[in-house]
């Protein structure tokens, strides 16, 4: 059986400023590093055979904290990058509400109606991340292995949506994907996917460990 341990990067500076990051980047905050460390402690006794990460620095840095001194190579996969938000990247919530009220509403409340301004649609992102998931399963098919995957909020939501076969309209239904939360998915060649855990943060060790989207 293949077990996928999927997480989102730790909190970043732009998260605290409520800015959309997408393919742009900002540094992990001290809290973001602690969030990753808390998860690393949770996973410290888990034998991990492979680590896949988005190549964007905030995800890659989180992956490095998670594996610590285990010496496991991190393989970066372009298809696991966060959604490209186009003109929205670097803009904060209040700007978007003011300048793009309809599409900002659609982004969070009616994702099937969301139209980007120079970026990707949800369907486009879902297609590429689903393809990468299938590629990972093919690589490890028939093996009993634990795989760590470090991605982004939208990407993780879309991966779970693909696995569970839910409609795009339901994408932002709970649970919220907190930074360095843990989702666990099993894959068995006879029974397919089974979601064991979604966005769990029981490893958080201080109140206020969550952050904005």
The answer to whether the annotation marks 12 as part of a ligand binding site is yes
The answer to whether the annotation marks 58 as part of a ligand binding site is yes
The answer to whether the annotation marks 92 as part of a ligand binding site is no
Q: pLDDT of 63-104, one tens digit each?
A: 999 999 999 999 999 999 999 999 999 999 999 999 999 999
DSSP 208: T
Given a cut of 80, is residue 196 above it in pLDDT? yes
pLDDT band at 7 (very low <50, low <70, confident <90, very high): very high
Check: CB of residue 35 under 8 Å from CB of residue 29: no
The answer to whether the annotation marks 13 as part of a ligand binding site is yes
- What number is the average pLDDT over the span 157-172? 98
Domain ranges of the chain: 2-84+121-200
The answer to whether the annotation marks 15 as part of a ligand binding site is yes
- What number is the average pLDDT over the span 108-131? 98
- What number is the average pLDDT over the span 124-134? 98
> Active site includes 9?
yes
d(CA 105, CA 128): 24
pLDDT at 213: 38
- What number is the average pLDDT over the span 169-177? 97
Task: Provide CB contacts within 8 A for 71, sequence distance 6+.
Answer: none
- What number is the average pLDDT over the span 162-183? 97
State the average pLDDT for the chain. Answer: 96
The answer to whether the annotation marks 42 as part of a ligand binding site is no
Given a cut of 90, is residue 23 above it in pLDDT? yes
Q: pLDDT of 31-56, one tens digit each?
A: 999 999 999 999 999 999 999 999 99
The answer to whether the annotation marks 41 as part of a ligand binding site is no
Domain 2-84+121-200: which topology? Rossmann fold (3.40.50)
**Choosing from 9, 89, 120, 132, which is the catalytic residue?**
9
Q: What share of the chain is helix, strand, coil (3-state, %, to 5)?
A: 40, 20, 40
Check: CB of residue 50 under 8 Å from CB of residue 3: no
**Choosing from 23, 73, 82, 178, which is the catalytic residue?**
82
Q: Show the CA angle centred on residue 171, arms to residues 167 and 175, nearest 5°.
A: 130
Q: pLDDT of 137-155, one tens digit each?
A: 999 999 999 999 999 999 9
- What number is the average pLDDT over the span 150-166? 98
- What number is the average pLDDT over the span 107-122? 97
């Amino acid at each position: 059986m293949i077990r996928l341990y999927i997480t989102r990067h730790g909190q970043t500076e732009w998260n605290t400023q409520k800015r959309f990051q997408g393919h742009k980047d900002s540094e992990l905050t001290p809290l973001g590093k602690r969030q990753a460390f808390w998860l690393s402690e949770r996973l410290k006794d888990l034998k991990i055979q492979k680590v896949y990460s988005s190549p964007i620095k905030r995800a890659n840095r989180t992956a490095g904290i998670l594996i610590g001194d285990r010496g496991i190579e991190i393989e970066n996969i372009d298809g696991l990058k966060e959604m490209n938000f186009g003109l929205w990247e670097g803009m904060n919530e209040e700007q978007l509400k003011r300048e793009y009220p309809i599409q900002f509403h659609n982004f969070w409340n009616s994702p099937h109606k969301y139209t980007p301004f120079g970026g990707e649609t949800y369907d486009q992102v879902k297609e590429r991340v689903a393809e990468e998931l299938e590629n990972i399963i093919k690589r490890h098919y028939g093996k009993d292995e634990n795989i760590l995957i470090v991605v982004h909020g939208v990407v993780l939501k879309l991966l779970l949506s693909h696995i569970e076969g839910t409609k795009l309209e339901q994408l932002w239904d709970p649970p919220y994907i907190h930074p360095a939360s843990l989702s666990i998915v099993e894959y068995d060649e006879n029974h397919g996917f089974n979601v064991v855990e979604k966005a769990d943060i029981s490893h958080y060790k201080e109140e206020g460990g969550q952050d904005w989207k």
